[in-house]
Amino acid sequence: MPSPDSELNRDRQVPDSKINDSDKDLLERVKANDTGAFSILVDRYKVKLFNLIYRMLQNREEAEDILQETFLRVFKERERFDPTYSFSTWIYTIALNLCRNELKRKKKFRFFGLDLIKDDRRYAVEKTFGSGSLSAVLEKAIASLPEKYRTAFLLREVNQLSYEEMSESMGVPLGTVKSRVNRARFMLQGQLSPKIKEHYEVSKSSPIPLWLL
Amino acid sequence: MKCRKVRQYLYGYCKNELTPAESDRIKAHLDSCAECAKEMEKVAVVSTLLKDSLEVFVPSPDFNEKLLVKIRSMPLEVEEKKRQTWWQKLLHETFPSIRLRWAAAGAVSVIILAVVATMVTQKRFSQGPESIVSDNIYTEGQDLVSSGEKGDSSLEKIFEQAGRTSTLSDKSFVIENLSTASLDKVFDSTKRGEDGRITPVDLNRRFIIERSPYQNLSRGNHYVLPVVSSQPASKKTDY
């Protein structure tokens, strides 16, 4: 007995989507309203994007909303996607723009005296890790980076985009992207070095030689 | 290569992001400079930390489900948005930032205030504080003429003004905003019909006054006075 989805697609003569299909192939099927193909795309990108968006916004619910909005945009604008570009760059561009707008909106709240951002940052990090762990220290340090450095750092270290992809999705020249990533790494090193030292002094079984720090 | 320059490349070197030539130069420097080599090891520690200690966050399990629900309810939404956006788009393109939009709104309200203020003050001045008959006379194609100074609410006065200009349109002219009260002053009230309608009055065999079909326009009562005699208005002295 055919599943409801394949029943739906039979009329359109679209072959079943495969997990291994390329993003662009899947998007072609999404254009023919194949929700199965869309689900595969969602599964392929949701964790990557969520890790980026969550770290940008520092609030889980907002991050999920923005993640959802990203995919909704992809679906709405599916006809407008230019296949000469990479799908990955496109979806990152959408997500980054939504993040940027959301941060701007939050800044406006802060302007009116509702300081939501700081609270979000503190609670997000401590809720997840507890305040002492190395991960918490690292997440705090990332959260404290200025927005443009944070974006660059996350796209590179978390999402592992190439500098070329980053340049395209951030809309910033290649050289600028590279220098932002480098700046961000040194900023983090500056914040982390004393904390790492502290951390390994407390837990004596340090795998890293202390003289390095 | 100077140490300061080398240190800028340490993360790139550590992460294999450099060209082979750059990489060789950094390596050569690190082999010969103990300070930079130590710095390099710090960089390596932080690099590893960045790689290993970054947690992976996962969206909630029902994320796909919620998303698909939204997708299925979408076509309507898109249509609704389109219906809204033409003026929003225009607004947003003309005034891209929220501050500009506020500024524009402020400017518009100032202009509206100014216009209203001008209208109010002008009306007050044109009416004049001493006038008893505040009716205005319009003649076709003419500017507003104010009539009725104190004790001078006669038809003569009105006709004098009208007569001067009636040559412009030799068939008729219009008196606008003439209230029934002031009409009673200038016309014999006995000439009014029982329904309040002014019956054709022969005034000096020159003018006949009739109720105009424009009466119901928002401007108020209009009276059309067709010229039935071509005698010049200035000769109506016996009125």
Residue A126 in this model has a pLDDT that exceeds 50? yes
Single-letter amino acid, residue A49: L
Tell me, yes or no, whether A15 and A108 share the same domain. yes
DSSP E strands, chain B: 136-137, 145-146, 172-176, 202-203, 207-208, 210-211, 222-226
Tell me, yes or no, whether A50 and A98 share the same domain. yes
Tell me, yes or no, whether A177 and A111 share the same domain. no
Tokens coding B58: 């996962």
Tell me, yes or no, whether A4 and A109 share the same domain. yes
Q: Would you call A185 and B11 a contact, using CB atoms and an 8 Å cutoff?
A: yes
Task: Find the DSSP H helices in B33-97.
Answer: 34-52, 63-72, 74-94
- Residue A1: what pLDDT? 43
Query: In whole angstroms, what is the distance from residue A108 CA to residue A9 CA?
Result: 46
Single-letter amino acid, residue A136: A
Name the residue among A35, A54, A188 with its Cβ closest to that of B71.
Answer: A35
Q: Would you call A128 and B60 a contact, using CB atoms and an 8 Å cutoff?
A: no
Q: Would you call A72 and B43 a contact, using CB atoms and an 8 Å cutoff?
A: no
- Residue B67: what pLDDT? 92
The pLDDT tens digits for B157-183 are: 555 554 433 333 333 444 444 445 445
Last residue of some domain: A100, A124, A148?
A: A124
CA triple A213-B50-B38, angle to 5 deg: 30
Interface mutation target, options B67, B73, B98, chain A, most CBs of A under 10 Å? B67
Summarize the confidence of residues B126-137 as an average pLDDT. Answer: 39
Tell me, yes or no, whether A210 and A109 share the same domain. no
Higher per-residue confidence, B123 vs A123: B123
Tell me, yes or no, whether A144 and A212 share the same domain. yes
Single-letter amino acid, residue A21: D
Summarize the confidence of residues B184-196 as an average pLDDT. Answer: 47
Last residue of some domain: A77, A101, A124?
A: A124
pLDDT, chain B, mean:
63
Last residue of some domain: A124, A158, A191?
A: A124
**How would residue A199 be classed by pLDDT, with cut points 50, 70 and 90?**
low
Q: Are A145 and A187 in contact (CB under 8 A)?
A: yes
Q: Would you call A38 and B58 a contact, using CB atoms and an 8 Å cutoff?
A: no
Percentage of the residues of chain A whose pLDDT score is greater than 70: 73
Count of domains forming chain A: 2
Query: In whole angstroms, what is the distance from residue B168 CA to residue B161 CA?
Result: 13
- Residue B93: what pLDDT? 76
Give the structural domain span for A114: 1-124
Percentages (nearest 5) of helix, strand, coil residues in chain A = 75, 0, 25
Residue B110 in this model has a pLDDT that exceeds 90? yes
Residue B147 in this model has a pLDDT that exceeds 80? no
Tell me, yes or no, whether A91 and A138 share the same domain. no
Residue that has been written with the tokens 């409801």 in this structure: A4
CATH number of residue A165's parent domain: 1.10.10.10
Tell me, yes or no, whether A10 and A84 share the same domain. yes
